[in-house]
Structure formats: C-alpha cells, structure tokens
Amino acid sequence: MAEFAVKMDMLISSLREKNEALTMILNITENQGQLLKMDKNKDSEMLELFGTMNEAKQEHIERTLELDRLFQGVFEGISENFEEQARGTIEKTATLQSLTNEALELDVKIRASEQKNRTEILQRNIELSQIRRAAKPAGKSSKAELLKKYAQNKKPAGNV
C-alpha cells in the first residue's frame, strides 16, 4: 500500500506540472490572440513576436508530452488493482480526479483559443506559411507536429 501511495503522489505531481504547462500554453495562446488584434500595418512585428511566442509554447507542449509519458508509465504500473487500492487513499484519488478535470478544462480552453486565433489569422489574410517560417526554429518540431504527438499520446480520461 505504501508503494501505491508513493505512485499516487508521483501521478499527482506530474498532473500538477502538466496543468502548469497547460496554463502557460493557454496564456501564450491568449496573448497571441491579443497580438493578432494589433494594427495591420505592424504585421511584420506581429509575426516576429508571434513566432517567438510559438517557440515558448512549443517548449511547454514538449514538457506536457514528457509528463504524459511519465504519467502513463506510472499509471500502468498501478492500474491493474487501481480501484481496490485507491480506496485506501481517498484524498489522493480525489486530488487526482480534480487535477485530471483541470487538465481537461485547460485543454478545451486552449483548443478554443487556438481556433479563435486561426479565425483571426484567416480574417487578416496572413499566410500561414509566414507564421510557420517565423515560428519554426532550426532543429525543432513544428507546432502542428507537436500537437499531433500530444493528441496521439493522450489517453481518454477514464474513471480515475
């Protein structure tokens, strides 16, 4: 039971870190939305800053992917008898559920904010290739590639 409690602490810790990273992604995405509302005459400045923000966002996405892998690995180690063992750690189980719900809410907000940004980009007639060029640092994965990896790595939230 002590090993289970330690692993629950690890799961809680990784979810807290993930939620911090998701909060940063959401903040950056919302700030990018504000940036897109700048004067159209400043598109070159906006693209440069947008790209810099994308670099920061990609770092948080990569961290989120790492945390998802960690969470999955630890959870697989305790999932067989999870419900039975979780009864002994009701408070930790409730915290785990709460953090999972928070992560899901942040994910929904990020997706909505990203969609607003895409709409604004289309309305401004900014070529997506311009943003990609400004956003993709040498040797790093593109945002789309990272988001694809993130989506593939995500497991549906079951009864935790």
CATH code (residue 96): 1.20.58
Find the domain containing 106 and state its range. Answer: 2-153
Residue 103's pLDDT is: 96
Helices (H) and strands (E) counted in the chain, each on its own, are: 6, 0
> For the chain, how many structural domains are there in total?
1
Residue 156's pLDDT is: 47
- Is the pLDDT assigned to residue 125 strictly greater than 80? no
User: Which pTM was predicted?
Assistant: 0.74
Which positions ≥6 away from 97 have C-beta within 8 Å?
160
Evaluate whether 81 touches 31 at the Cβ level (below 8 Å): no
Cα separation, 14 vs 18, whole angstroms: 6
Residue 158's pLDDT is: 47
Cα atoms found within 13 Å of the Cα of residue 94, Cβ hemisphere only: 4
- Is the pLDDT assigned to residue 86 strictly greater than 80? yes
Query: Does some domain include residue 158?
Result: no
Cα separation, 54 vs 18, whole angstroms: 18
Query: Does some domain include residue 138?
Result: yes
Residue 14's pLDDT is: 96
Query: Does some domain include residue 159?
Result: no
Query: Does some domain include residue 46?
Result: yes
Burial of 139 (0-12, 13-18, 19+ CB in 10 A): exposed
Evaluate whether 22 touches 110 at the Cβ level (below 8 Å): yes
Cα separation, 49 vs 35, whole angstroms: 8
- Is the pLDDT assigned to residue 154 strictly greater than 60? no
Query: Does some domain include residue 129?
Result: yes
Query: Does some domain include residue 160?
Result: no
Residue 114's pLDDT is: 94
